[in-house]
Chain A
Amino acid sequence: MTDRMIFALPSKGALAEPTEAFLKDCGLKVNRLNPRQYTGTIATLPGLEVLYQRVTDIVYKVADGTAQLGITGLDVLQEHSSPDIVVIHEALGYGHCHLCIAVPEAWVDVESMTDLTEIALDFREQKGRNLRIATKYTHLARQFLHHHQIHHFTLVQAEGSIEAAPTIGYADMIVDLTQTGTTLRENHLKQIEGGTVMSAQACLIGNRYALQQAAVRDAVRVLAEYIDAALNGRQCVQITADIRGKSAEAVAAQVTTNPLTRGLLGPTVAPMYSTRAGDDQWHTVTLTVSNQNLLASVEHLRAIGGTHVIVSPVRLLFLEQSKTYTKLLERL
């Protein structure tokens, strides 16, 4: 059994701050004595030591077992995939980005991957050289290009400022991450139809062999419970509303006529002791609804005489069990 469990988190880059914030939202705040230290702790998980690393190194460290658990980008994981890594949760809901093909805006004749296939052949036949593509995702880029029948290209491995490569001249086009496309546009590049290599976000990973250990699995269970609860909580809000009715049963019957306001199991209806004289038979209804159905739910409550509707965020929502942990056990 491992005495010291390491949970590797991004030290810098686009995932660093969102990861801290995400864990804090989950109730797993990382305590770091000062920002220059590369270690930290999580009060909820006393056996776990947090180690800050670059996202690529997190993949390597989890693969070789130096770290038992880690959070990194799905894009980085797929680029440096290892059979020794198990993806515990592949969509933590932040750090969204796309790995995509980007060509110079001046290539007005290139709108799709079919066009690019032809351009690659043109380069070889007319210019006597391969199309040069700058990227740090050489593995994913190569697979994607071959899949689209593009076989003649040279990958130029680069780190940082890849968007500038076609302007500087050391590559003709790029394969890189983008969130909004702004940086690409600022560098006179454009995306093309069918040119998304993959969509990615932050993910939780573990070492396959470490996950056989009871202590590591216990830590994963705690992480999975809090993460699932936080992600469940983000999907919904809690509503309380005051509704007049003869009885709690009568109010509940009215509320549940609409499937959107049936809550997780059903509404909680409690009698209210109104301070206004003669204004009795009020009840307070409490229920949980999904974000997307919020307004429709409020309108239904109004329609049956509801008022004073208060909407509160749900920080954590624990269901019967953690789906993530159950699935992990099945896979292991």
Chain B
Amino acid sequence: MNASRVRALEQQLLAHMQLYGYTLVDIPIVQPADVFLTRAGDLMIDRLFTFEHHDQMLALRPEFTAAAARHYLEHAAGQVVRWQFCGATFVDDATEDRTQQHSLGAELIGMAGRAAEAEIIGMAVEGAQAIDLTEWRLVMGHVALQWHLLARFGLDRRIIRWLLSHRDALAQYGKEHVLTLFQATFALAANAVTGLDETPASTQRMLDVLLDSTQYGTTMGGRTREDIALRMLRKHQRAVARPQIETALDFLVEWMQIEDGFESVFAKIEAWIDADDEAGRLLLAQWRETVQRVIAAGIAPERIIVKPNLARNWEYYTGLVFVLQSRQGEAVAGGGRYDELTRLLGGTQATPAVGFAYYIDALHNELPQPHDEHSPITLSGPQAIDTARLLRQNGIAVLIQDEAGEISSTAHDFSYRQHIYGTLANLLAAVKATRA
């Protein structure tokens, strides 16, 4: 990668986001690993660059968002902040070419409503356009709506999380494979509670048995008998939840195949939401509103693709998620809403938050190489130092050599050569005029 080009890209994008009122914030590269592990997806957990120091598990930041949320809690809780971040991020992955990557992100924390999402998405797209990314598409998904639709099958959060983390296996090996995995992970071992039906009477009986069986325990390890009995009941309910899991998997298979323009996809999703499901309708309405706002901000509707199953590597997202893709399908930027993250990191309540990051390495590879880069010209001879100084003052890069020579043959470009000669002629004229 061309380091000068990367710096130039970063400067352009930082300046672009500054126009939206985003101030640059420095956050440490080394953070407590807990900050990132709180809601890292399985993929990210495996790739987190961790190490121990003074008996504490630390990590090199793999991204900015979680660290930004922590910074917000420590320095700006309760305020609306617009921050941008720039610098190295790290992944511990032998298959990656580079452990260290460049990233540039923005976080809008503390501002509720769809306007925040539209601002972040609009800024991300305009920034990419400003640095000449011409062929791109905006892909959007919605984590909250996905969770909501899966919860209709009577599944608890752990099961939904498990199902979502097995989407790749579902796509690759099919429903039966995932069902087998589910049984292996969650099915109860043969014990007292299997075989009970789910009538309230038997549930109560099971709770009584469990409460009774644990009342003589002297070592409870910070849990109450009720904690244990209720969780046992939860396990039992999972063991008998196979029909619900099967239906949920059927839904997921269909859900995962959807990828189209927003009008067509929204119509499909609407059909899945029951008439009396107000929460589901609200989520879809909010998503629609964001899309309308994004279009109003100048993004062409045909550039917008809705893929409800859009998966991100981080599990802290709680609403809309998006990715900016290049023509080759490479993600050059991505982000979304993460309202729960501040609470998970120790805050007293959830805080509305939306953010995104440009993946500078990917972006650099997708952009056309600039035409205006020129090698320095080479000068030599008795006047070289003075001439070089004058040229440099006029923005022309110069190398000085000991040997005799004229303007270097590296200046091949005709117009650039003209510019150099023109500058020299002007300088000469200026010197003559001064002397006269």
Contacts and interface: CB of A to CB of B under 8 A. Distances in A.
Contacts of A114: 185-186
Interface string B310-327: 000000000000000000
Interface stretch (B219-227, B264-272, B426-434): B219-227
Nearest to B37: A151
Contact of A109 (B37, B52, B220, B235): B235
A154 to B, nearest CB: 10
A104 interface: yes
A132 interface: yes
A122 B230 CA distance: 12
A189 B227 CA distance: 18
Interface string A24-67: 00000000000000000000000000000000000000000000
A280 interface: no
Given A109-B228, A109-B232, A109-B235, A127 B34 contact: no
Contacts of A173: 221
B423 interface: no
A107 B228 contact: yes
A127 B38 CA distance: 16
B222 A127 contact: yes
Contact of B219 (A105, A111, A123): A105
B218 A167 contact: yes
Contacts, number: 79
Name, among A106, A109, A127, A146, the residue most crowded by chain B CB atoms within 10 Å (CB to CB).
A109
B210 interface: yes
A232 interface: no
Interface string B16-38: 00000000000000000010011
B162 to A, nearest CB: 10
A172 interface: yes
A152 B223 CA distance: 16
A149 B214 contact: no
Given A123-B222, A172-B222, A106 B38 contact: no
B221 A104 contact: yes
Interface in A282-321: none
Contact of A111 (B38, B189, B227): B189
B52 A139 contact: yes
A108 B158 contact: no
A118 to B, nearest CB: 6
Contacts of A167: 218-219
A149 B42 contact: yes
A94 B52 CA distance: 31
A217 interface: no
A187 interface: yes
Interface in A118-144: 118-119, 121-123, 126-127, 131-132, 138-139, 142
A172 B221 contact: yes
Query: Contact size class for A?
Result: 35 or more
Contacts of B57: 142, 146
Given A139-B52, A151-B37, A109 B222 contact: no
Interface string A192-210: 0000000000000000000
Interface in A70-112: 103-109, 111
Name, among B42, B50, B218, B221, the residue most crowded by chain A CB atoms within 10 Å (CB to CB).
B221
A10 interface: no
A267 interface: no
B7 interface: no
Contacts of A166: 219-222
B34 A104 contact: no
B125 interface: no
Contacts of A171: 221
Nearest to B39: A151
A146 B221 contact: no
A123 B231 CA distance: 12
Name, among B158, B222, B232, B235, the residue most crowded by chain A CB atoms within 10 Å (CB to CB).
B222
A122 B227 contact: yes
Contacts of A104: 217, 219-221, 223
Contacts of A221: none
A172 B223 contact: yes
B55 interface: yes
Given A106-B225, A146-B50, 20 more contacts: A104-B217, A104-B219, A104-B223, A108-B213, A109-B228, A109-B235, A114-B186, A118-B231, A119-B223, A126-B227, A149-B45, A151-B38, A167-B218, A167-B219, A171-B221, A172-B221, A172-B222, A172-B223, A188-B218, A189-B219
A-B pairs, 4 with minimum CB distance: A106-B217, A172-B221, A151-B37, A188-B219
28 contacts: A104-B223, A105-B217, A106-B217, A106-B220, A106-B221, A107-B221, A108-B191, A108-B210, A108-B228, A108-B232, A109-B231, A111-B189, A114-B186, A119-B223, A122-B227, A132-B222, A138-B55, A146-B57, A149-B42, A151-B38, A151-B45, A166-B220, A167-B218, A167-B219, A187-B219, A188-B218, A188-B219, A189-B219
Interface of A: 103-109, 111, 114-115, 118-119, 121-123, 126-127, 131-132, 138-139, 142, 146, 149, 151-152, 157, 166-167, 169, 171-173, 187-189
